[in-house]
Amino acid sequence: MANARVLPLPLGGPNAVPLSDEELVVAARAGDRRAKDALIRRHLDMVRRLAFRLTAHESDLEDLVQDAFVIALNGLDRLRDPALFPAWLRSVTIYEARHRLRRERLLRRLGLRHHAQEPEALAVASPGAPPDASAELSRVYSALRRINSDCQVAFVLVRLEGLSLVDAANEMKISLSTVKRRLHQADAEIQIQLARARGSKP
């Protein structure tokens, strides 16, 4: 949350009490463009950060963010509890990110995307990050690119986003045991990749 900010809400004046997500969702469902706008502005940074952590693709980030908002706002009728909009939006973002990661790996496997076309693998940390943190994150993301995309998502949500296993399962719409299995697999793979990167045996 180092560079989080609050974008101006279009509803009400400077002294107006901001509407809740629930109220905005109800208005957006009724076709209120301003309510949709408010939801986008309120959650834009959250979605950008999550998308970035999941994919580490700065270049495709805006596409992913746009798709996540479009899908979530067009699918509001399927959202049972309007108060859960943020969680719903996170789930949609995770789903879209997984979809893109899978496609990315498939294209790579088919030889349709070369490593040279990939975004810079090491530039994941913020510009002000300490060198050791920056180096560790770079190593981790380089390793993540070599593992299964579902395992990658589980790893990011639990190890980097700090979600509990239950929350991660809910957001990925999978069972708790599946999250555990994927996380275990990701941890093992990352250890191997990191050991290789350091030049030692895992």
Partner 1 sequence: MNDLKASSQWLEPERLADDRAEELIQSIHREIERRARNQKRLTRLRPLLLAVPLAAALALVWNHWQKPQVWVGDVVETQEKALSLSLADGSRVVASEQSRLVLERSDAEQVRLALKRGKAELEVTSVPGRQFLVVTTAAIVRVVGTHFSVEAVEGSAGSGTTVSVDRGIVEIDEPATGRVLRRLTAGSTWTHWQDRGDTAQAAPPPPEESRPEPSPPPEAAVAPAAPMGNVAVPSATNPAPSHSAPGSAAPPSVAELFAAASAARAKGDWSAALSGYEAVMARGSGGTAGLAALEVGRMYLQRGQAARAIAPLRRAAATAPDAGLRADAAARLVEALASTGDAAGCKRAREDYLKRYPQGLHAAEVAGRCGSR
Question: Residue 176 has which token pair?
Answer: 């708790």
d(CA 141, CA 190): 9
**Residue 140 found at the interface with partner 1 (CB under 8 A):** yes
**Residue 32 found at the interface with partner 1 (CB under 8 A):** no
Residues from 81 through 100 that contact partner 1 (CB under 8 A): none
State the number of CA atoms in the 13 A half-sphere of 26 facing the CB: 6
Residue whose token pair is 């899908």? 71
**Residue 3 found at the interface with partner 1 (CB under 8 A):** yes
Binding segment toward partner 1, per CB under 8 A, in 66-74, 81-89, 110-118, 146-154: 66-74
Give, as one character, the DSSP assignment of residue 162. Answer: -
Residue 124: CB atoms within 10 Å: 20
**Residue 29 found at the interface with partner 1 (CB under 8 A):** no
Q: Are 87 and 161 in contact (CB under 8 A)?
A: no
**Residue 175 found at the interface with partner 1 (CB under 8 A):** no
State the number of CA atoms in the 13 A half-sphere of 150 facing the CB: 12
Q: How far is the CB of 69 from partner 1 (least distance, A)?
A: 5
Question: Residue 117 has which token pair?
Answer: 């076309």
**Residue 40 found at the interface with partner 1 (CB under 8 A):** yes
When the beta carbons of 61 and 174 are compared against partner 1, the nearer one is 61
Chain residues in the site for partner 1 (CB under 8 A) = 1-3, 7, 33, 36-37, 40-41, 44, 48-49, 51-53, 58, 61-62, 65-66, 69-70, 73-74, 124-130, 132-134, 136-137, 140, 159-162, 187, 190-191, 194
